[in-house]
Structure 1
């Protein structure tokens, strides 16, 4: 069976956020199970830069191909689709043109005739509508990773080459574009839910909780909605091998050969590696952000986004991700003074992916490095040379999202053996198991979204649990604020080690891409039963 994934981003060609992980990793597993898979993406400058092979023109659009792990990428370019800024100022224009280009691609039939078309997030909705105008022969899945809640005027559909009187094939009959737009009040995800044969999202909580998917698109779509959890392609052993390949020589020198202990990774990262990044790192796509970071050239900064090492080792708290208030970076800003007031040995390392629109939030984080030079470092941008090392070194990972449909970053942390302080929302409420309820089988602590005090106290508690396991004494127990956590720790000073093991086991047993693909195949088989 041939499946096409239609998405705005996908590794290895274009990745900005978590969305870029999903289509390709699902596709890799589908290929292993005998499916033929193609991923359709906008060029985002790939064609004009010569990074993909141009194979033809399609009524004003360019088509290029790229093969990777038995997956064929179909890259659609020309005009605005060559804008390298994936989610920049011309995003809506790109969304319109991409929908039209996918329609032309399907009409041509020159690149295949998929049985299933799988569309990811709102950027692909016009393409979905075009697909149902072109033919009723294929089945469609609309995959919601994040709700945009966007409204678009009927003129947007017209600009994409859709006539208001064009008829499209819905699961329950035929409807015109104009009627569809009116019935769904122009809400783009609701239009997609009406058109698609199945709706998929990434966690049960995100599907049914207040303000979630069904709350927005309508409870009438519950019957056609399914959950396919995300996964991670990380594994603890593979991360360990990769880190040793990159750092073994300096680790041996720095630690006098003591490279088997996890605490050694922490000390090496904090006091050495954090200040010795790979060439060209941190990688900062936006030149305006790069220029801003160049101006930070006094300790603990060294210009260009680089930082000085810490002078002393200490419990390491890590946070990564796209810089936004949705991810809770502003909550962290408010929590840091309380954390360090109560537990001054803690080291906090933040690895945000910055955007110009959020430069004020970035500067608030950077200021904390000046306020707490012995405790806080911010490496803004991509730092592949130390990213996995940071995960192997860390004691606590923070995921204080205000809302989070799934949260792949929590899986990456847990499979690296890091307990997660996570907001009790969306997918984080399902992937992270609170130790106050699950005991040593837990994988972190839940906090109220947006509550900086809860975040601070939970961070102190978990850092104490993890550091006590290293020290194997009771000197830190007075810092614990939760009676349940304190009771657990008094009974087992090595609790932190068992929580690390539970974190790794949780991901390996429940949240691999193989597991995700098995869930997805069940959805596909509902649409096209396999004999």
Structure 2
């Protein structure tokens, strides 16, 4: 659902982009993603090819919260390349479909179910197109990142099964978010009664969606609908996550226990950043302004301490552009918490009066990030280090409105440190 170069909300978007960049030298890689309203931008920066078919049909939108009669959906497909990787973007060709697939807020709670639904229907259409026209282009393996592509994957498996075919699969669960949908929602997304082959402890077994739900419900507390993450882990051939501890403490216990433990593993989180490359990029972009602001002559080398002072005492309140926030709900909360307070003005923030020892953290607001732990530690730290600075570069979402309000209280309480 995220891919750096198309759209990204947090660190997740960097993962498939970096993986595919390195794999593309040896393998033919294709990434599928909803347009998230980026098509008009991509048209200006990349060569786009509109694929020669549309996915058109009728749908009752009540399953994703729209109280309207049955209506027509129309999905088109656009292909481009980024770093030698094929990208296929799913776009809504009529206003109704576009209101979901092209919503710029990637995880908008008001449109997310519809976006997943049309992504699933579109992917099933694409699989049918390949079988009818380009069978040699069918994938050898499908890699699913988090739950959003699980239902589309099941649909593709069913299309393949109807044609005597199958595909290997791998799901990487980066962060559990516990989404649950009734089985009727899966039906709305195009999933039917066709059995799919699943890698179980005893070997391979063909199961229908009803059977998958029954098996997952038996190990779900209260026999409630299973999370899509549990369903995704069960139907995938391999299950991975980002660390050994997260695998053992969260993924296996909450996504199937013995149903998935035998086919689960982890790949350490990592990145391919080069320190020197980043250092010189900062100098390239900011050296002149940094020297002007800090009054540092050309014959003196800039240090990390200089960069920190420049960031904390100047650049924070002199960004080239305000941070991009598309969600009206988030913007309304920001306006609410900034009313009468000077630390926010139209998306900009107030710089610190002085530099100091710095704690810097970034990420999307979620319990796993541990932001609350840092907030709780601030008063204890500044008792010992009064000039300590805490800089949170966080990504607010529609799901974290209360946290935004709570964090604002800390800013007001410690204006010289946070």
- Give yes or no for TM over 0.5: yes
Deviation at 1:214, TM superposition (A): 4.4
Tell me whether 1:365 sits opposite 2:412 in the alignment: no
Q: Which moved more, 1:45-54 or 1:212-221?
A: 45-54
Query: Does the residue aligned with 1:244 lie in a helix, a strand or coil?
Result: helix
Alignment of 1:459-498 (within 5 A): none
Deviation at 1:151, TM superposition (A): 3.0
Alignment of 1:292-303 (within 5 A): 292-293=333-334, 296=338, 300-301=342-343, 303=345
- 2:233 and 2:255 in contact (8 A); partners too: no
Partner of 2:310: 268
Partner of 2:2: 9
Q: Which moved more, 1:342-351 or 1:220-229?
A: 220-229
Tell me whether 1:85 sits opposite 2:105 in the alignment: yes
Taking structure 1 as reference, are residues 292 and 223 closer, same or farther at Cα in structure 2, changes over 3 Å only?
closer
- Structure 1 residues 257-281: Cα deviation after superposition (integer angstroms, max 9, x where no partner): 4443221212222222222211x22
Partner of 1:59: 55
Partner of 1:37: 29
Partner of 2:197: 169
Measure, in 1, the Cα distance between the counterparts of 2:114 and 2:150: 13
1:201 to 241, 245, 249: 241
Q: Which moved more, 1:120-129 or 1:349-358?
A: 349-358
- 1:214 and 1:221 in contact (8 A); partners too: no
- Structure 1 residues 455-494: Cα deviation after superposition (integer angstroms, max 9, x where no partner): xxxxxxxxxxxxxxxxxxxxxxxxxxxxxxxxxxxxxxxx
Taking structure 1 as reference, are residues 227 and 372 closer, same or farther at Cα in structure 2, changes over 3 Å only?
closer
Taking structure 1 as reference, are residues 177 and 366 closer, same or farther at Cα in structure 2, changes over 3 Å only?
closer
Tell me whether 1:148 sits opposite 2:169 in the alignment: no
1:99 to 76, 98, 120: 120
- 2:198 and 2:236 in contact (8 A); partners too: yes
Taking structure 1 as reference, are residues 12 and 288 closer, same or farther at Cα in structure 2, changes over 3 Å only?
same
Partner of 1:27: 20
Tell me whether 1:134 sits opposite 2:130 in the alignment: no
Measure, in 2, the Cα distance between the counterparts of 1:192 and 1:11: 23
Taking structure 1 as reference, are residues 49 and 27 closer, same or farther at Cα in structure 2, changes over 3 Å only?
closer
Measure, in 1, the Cα distance between the counterparts of 2:407 and 2:107: 23
Aligned residues between the structures:
365
Query: Does the residue aligned with 2:144 lie in a helix, a strand or coil?
Result: strand
Taking structure 1 as reference, are residues 303 and 292 closer, same or farther at Cα in structure 2, changes over 3 Å only?
farther
Deviation at 1:45, TM superposition (A): 1.8
Query: Does the residue aligned with 1:184 lie in a helix, a strand or coil?
Result: helix
- 2:333 and 2:405 in contact (8 A); partners too: no
Measure, in 2, the Cα distance between the counterparts of 1:42 and 1:365: 32
Taking structure 1 as reference, are residues 354 and 101 closer, same or farther at Cα in structure 2, changes over 3 Å only?
same
Deviation at 1:19, TM superposition (A): 1.7
- Structure 1 residues 1-41: Cα deviation after superposition (integer angstroms, max 9, x where no partner): xxxxxxx1111101012221111111111113x11111111
Taking structure 1 as reference, are residues 132 and 348 closer, same or farther at Cα in structure 2, changes over 3 Å only?
same
Partner of 2:220: none
- 1:9 and 1:16 in contact (8 A); partners too: yes
- 2:197 and 2:207 in contact (8 A); partners too: yes
Taking structure 1 as reference, are residues 179 and 318 closer, same or farther at Cα in structure 2, changes over 3 Å only?
same
- 1:189 and 1:217 in contact (8 A); partners too: no
- Structure 1 residues 122-177: Cα deviation after superposition (integer angstroms, max 9, x where no partner): 111111211221223321112211223333221112111122x3222334132222
Measure, in 2, the Cα distance between the counterparts of 1:15 and 1:266: 26
- 1:166 and 1:176 in contact (8 A); partners too: yes
Taking structure 1 as reference, are residues 316 and 49 closer, same or farther at Cα in structure 2, changes over 3 Å only?
closer
Deviation at 1:74, TM superposition (A): 0.7
Taking structure 1 as reference, are residues 364 and 224 closer, same or farther at Cα in structure 2, changes over 3 Å only?
closer
Measure, in 2, the Cα distance between the counterparts of 1:9 and 1:252: 37
- 2:230 and 2:254 in contact (8 A); partners too: no
Deviation at 1:336, TM superposition (A): 2.0
Taking structure 1 as reference, are residues 90 and 266 closer, same or farther at Cα in structure 2, changes over 3 Å only?
same
Measure, in 1, the Cα distance between the counterparts of 2:173 and 2:398: 26
Partner of 1:472: none
**Unpaired runs of at least 5, structure 1:** 1-7, 377-531
- 2:252 and 2:261 in contact (8 A); partners too: no
1:228 to 260, 267, 270: 267
Taking structure 1 as reference, are residues 190 and 302 closer, same or farther at Cα in structure 2, changes over 3 Å only?
closer
Query: Does the residue aligned with 2:177 lie in a helix, a strand or coil?
Result: coil
Taking structure 1 as reference, are residues 215 and 325 closer, same or farther at Cα in structure 2, changes over 3 Å only?
closer
Taking structure 1 as reference, are residues 360 and 201 closer, same or farther at Cα in structure 2, changes over 3 Å only?
closer
TM-score where L is the length of structure 2: 0.80
2:90 to 53, 76, 81: 76
1:121 to 122, 126, 146: 146
Tell me whether 1:218 sits opposite 2:257 in the alignment: yes
